[in-house]
Amino acid sequence: MQCYLTHDKFDIQSDARSGDDTHKLGVSLTKGNLTRETSFTTVRGPSDRWYVQDVPLEPLKDLCATP
């Protein structure tokens, strides 16, 4: 998972609330000259901290192949 999410730059494209304690973030990750987009589903945890619940890794698969 670390390989897929390692990046040089990121941009949050969108932030949609999908419940009181859930957000879906559209995120663009850039590694070298490749840029790919995926979504992060986050949930509110204890002490109002936010945790990543889900990240579809399939759109990021070629970022892992880039040295």
pLDDT tens-place string over residues 21-30: 999 999 999 9
Helix/strand/coil for 21:
coil
CA neighbours within 13 Å on the CB side: how many for 28?
8
User: pLDDT per residue over 3-37, tens digit each?
Assistant: 899 899 999 999 999 878 999 999 999 999 999 99
pTM for the whole structure: 0.84
Beta bridge partners of 42: 23, 52
Structural contact between residues 27 and 39, judged by C-beta atoms closer than 8 angstroms: yes
